[in-house]
Amino acid sequence: MSKWRWIILVALAAVVLRSPAFYNPIIDEDEAWYTVAAQVMNSGGDLYQDAVDLKPPLVFYFYAGAFAALGDDMRLLHGATVFWVLATAIAIGFLTARISSHQQAPHLAALLYVLFSPTFVPKALATNCEIIMNLPLVLSALFFLKARTSATKVHLLLSGAMCALAFLVKYQAGVLLGALVGHILISESLPSKAWPGRRRFSQALLIIAGFIAVLISLYVYYRQLGSWNEAYFWGWEYNFVFMRGLTLEYFLNRFLGMTPRFILIWLMLWVFAVVAIKKAFESPNEAPPGVLFSILWLAFSVAAVCVGGKFFGHYFIQLLPPLSILAAVTLADWWNSSKAAKHGGIKRVVVIAGILVPPLIYLGENWQEELQRMREENANYQMLAQRISHLTSAEERIFVWGRVPELYYFGRRLPASRFIACNFVVGMNTYNYYDAEASMPEVNDAIWDSLMQDLTEHRPRIIVDTAPANLRQFGKYPIARFRRLQDRVQEHYEAIDTLNQVVIYQRRRNLFQH
């Protein structure tokens, strides 16, 4: 098949498989968080100071930049995400071309990435951290392999810098740095059983220098903004507070619940990738350096998916670039072999069916159920948001008690607090989400002081209480449990409406100060 036919095939696959996102504005709750934070930033607010989240900053700047360019309609961003995915696929193709001599391998790797990135869970259609970070990750690997052949220092620095950019989208992406440095130090040491030479250490230091340079730039930026302390606490330190809720039981339940399904759906990818790994270990001296690097990259990525023990379906997208490369290298070899041509090409048909049928069937079933659930949820949020918009002017802010940031997005109103979702205020996290009651000792007066300060400063016209409706398991946190918030609501607000058990409070108009 010609190059242009491959390009058309890959592009069509991306558009068709991601098309449900074109008419669903919010695919995943995380998107709503990113969206509202980006709107706050584009309205003059500072991340971590005026919009709190525990994720690193670049995903929010990605959204803010996209909204500044395209407007804040998430369906447009979902359309733009197709081009981001295609750019990642093209970069994977260039990377594969440096590893395999088969002309088909780069096209196959690009196609596999596009096919499998949305076909494990429907939420993978979202513009999530994994989709965003994979492009700089692949570019980092591409610059690294270029440097291995050209010995250009700039490529090593760029490799480290791109890895850092991916790290600042999602911290787990930083494991690639270990693969880069590890490959430099061990690629020649293992065959000769000798210590790496000075040149190898210099190359490793250049990659690390590129990585650190980006982090230093970020530090200087937040220092100039005057919000470094908030950025460090919420964007870094709080992640470790959050992870204290992880237990071995939770880890094993999630691992056993998600990993077998993931392996089954991506089975043919794993089969061909494992063949490449087996062949490389049997003849390490004959294996292309790029294959050995991809194996190391995959191993580090597997470890990254396990960090935190959550095993959400879209987390596995991080494995896809090295997995697609390894599978494509083996698949191209096999496709052009005499074994594949036997029996009139029936084996090729079976392999194609094995690649396409499981994920498409699984996705088709899940799309029907999950997208219907998304549409119903969004319809409920849009109905509530329409009422909120009717009760407020565009300049007035609102406060949502709960973790439903979609109400800010659909209502076109900015939050009256830095806490876009109130899980940080009450101590709710992934690990205690379904507990009857949940608390964290780190949820202290300082956090509540921040909330009360925000409500005093922005004086929300509307407070929306989602706890009575138990939206996203927030029913265990009624306002009555929190004296400071209850006193404020009772003194300054009155309940004016209840929609689907969500209570809307309006600030009394004759009140001029708190």
User: Which residues lie below 8 Å from residue 7, measured CB to CB, with a gap of 6+?
Assistant: none
Strand-pair category, 462-465 with 398-401: parallel
pLDDT digits (tens, 9 = 90+) for 142-190: 999 999 877 688 999 999 999 999 999 999 999 999 999 999 888 756 6
Rg of the chain over all Cα atoms, to the nearest angstrom: 25
The highest-confidence range among 3-7, 196-200, 475-479, by mean pLDDT, is 475-479
430 and 322 belong to one structural domain: no
pLDDT digits (tens, 9 = 90+) for 186-222: 875 665 555 666 778 899 999 999 999 999 999 999 9
How many structural domains does the chain have? 2
Interaxial angle between packed helices 74-97 and 129-150, expressed in degrees from 0 to 180 and rounded to the nearest 10: 20
111 and 176 belong to one structural domain: yes
Tokens matching residue 90: 């093209």
Q: Would residue 10 count as lying in a domain?
A: yes
pLDDT for res 103: 87
pLDDT of residue 340 exceeding 90: no
Q: Count of CB atoms within 10 A of residue 161's CB?
A: 23
Tokens matching residue 308: 């935190």
- The β-bridge partners of 499 are 502
DSSP-derived secondary structure letter, 123: G
Q: What average pLDDT does range 314-327 have in this prediction? A: 95
Q: Would residue 233 count as lying in a domain?
A: yes
| Average of per-residue pLDDT values in the chain | 90
Q: Which residue has the tokens 């109905």?
A: 383
> Is 170:63 a contact under the CB 8 Å cutoff?
no
400 and 300 belong to one structural domain: no
pLDDT of residue 274 exceeding 50: yes
Full DSSP string of 303-324? HHHHTTS---GGGGGGGHHHHH
Rounded to whole angstroms, the Cα distance separating 334 from 473 reads 50
pLDDT digits (tens, 9 = 90+) for 46-75: 999 999 999 999 999 999 999 999 999 999
> Which residue type does 503 have?
V
Q: Would residue 386 count as lying in a domain?
A: no
pLDDT of residue 112 exceeding 70: yes
318 and 451 belong to one structural domain: no
> Is 311:255 a contact under the CB 8 Å cutoff?
yes
φ, ψ at 401 (rounded to 5°):
-85, 105
Q: Which residues of 414-435 are buried (b: 16+ CB within 10 A; e: fewer)?
A: bbbbbbbbbbbbbbbbbbbeee
User: Which residues lie below 8 Å from residue 19, measured CB to CB, with a gap of 6+?
Assistant: none
> Is 56:48 a contact under the CB 8 Å cutoff?
no
Instruction: Give the domain range for residue 67.
Output: 3-367
Q: How far apart are the first and last CA of the chain?
A: 71
Identify the band that residue 491 occupies on the pLDDT scale cut at 50, 70 and 90. very high
- Of 313, 333, 367, the domain-final residue: 367
φ, ψ at 307 (rounded to 5°):
-65, 130
- Of 324, 350, 367, the domain-final residue: 367
406 and 362 belong to one structural domain: no
Distance of CA 416 to the CA centre of its chain: 26
> Which residue type does 180 have?
L
290 and 403 belong to one structural domain: no
Which percentage of the chain shows pLDDT scores above 70? Answer: 94
pLDDT for res 345: 65
DSSP-derived secondary structure letter, 237: I
pLDDT digits (tens, 9 = 90+) for 413-459: 999 999 999 999 998 888 888 887 766 555 678 899 999 999 999 99
pLDDT for res 191: 57
405 and 343 belong to one structural domain: no
423 and 336 belong to one structural domain: no
Rounded to whole angstroms, the Cα distance separating 196 from 199 reads 8
Q: Would residue 42 count as lying in a domain?
A: yes
Secondary structure of residue 275 in the 3-state scheme: helix
pLDDT of residue 514 exceeding 50: no
459 and 327 belong to one structural domain: no
Q: Would residue 303 count as lying in a domain?
A: yes
Q: Would residue 20 count as lying in a domain?
A: yes
158 and 262 belong to one structural domain: yes
Rounded to whole angstroms, the Cα distance separating 467 from 481 reads 11
User: Which residues lie below 8 Å from residue 73, measured CB to CB, with a gap of 6+?
Assistant: 25
Tokens matching residue 322: 């090295």
pLDDT of residue 506 exceeding 50: yes
Assessment of whether the complete model's pTM goes beyond 0.85: yes
Interaxial angle between packed helices 248-265 and 267-282, expressed in degrees from 0 to 180 and rounded to the nearest 10: 90
291 and 421 belong to one structural domain: no
Q: Using alpha carbons, select from 54, 59, 51 the residue that is nearest to residue 77.
A: 59
User: Which residues lie below 8 Å from residue 133, measured CB to CB, with a gap of 6+?
Assistant: 166, 169, 170, 173, 318
Q: Would residue 512 count as lying in a domain?
A: no
Interaxial angle between packed helices 320-335 and 129-150, expressed in degrees from 0 to 180 and rounded to the nearest 10: 60
Q: Which residue has the tokens 């200087």?
A: 220
pLDDT for res 151: 67
pLDDT of residue 511 exceeding 50: no
Q: Using alpha carbons, select from 434, 435, 408, 412 the residue that is nearest to residue 421.
A: 408
pLDDT of residue 125 exceeding 60: yes
Length of the chain, in residues: 514
User: Which of 80-94, 150-164, 277-291, 401-415 is the least confident region?
Assistant: 277-291
pLDDT for res 69: 95
19 and 133 belong to one structural domain: yes
Distance of CA 240 to the CA centre of its chain: 18
Q: Would residue 384 count as lying in a domain?
A: no
Which percentage of the chain shows pLDDT scores above 90? Answer: 67
User: Which of 24-33, 85-94, 358-367, 486-495 is the least confident region?
Assistant: 358-367
User: Which residues lie below 8 Å from residue 462, measured CB to CB, with a gap of 6+?
Assistant: 388, 391, 392, 396, 398, 399, 413, 504, 505, 506, 507
User: Which of 334-338, 343-347, 383-387 is the least confident region?
Assistant: 343-347
Q: What average pLDDT does range 372-381 have in this prediction? A: 87
Q: What angle do CA 259, 262, 264 make, to 5 degrees?
A: 110
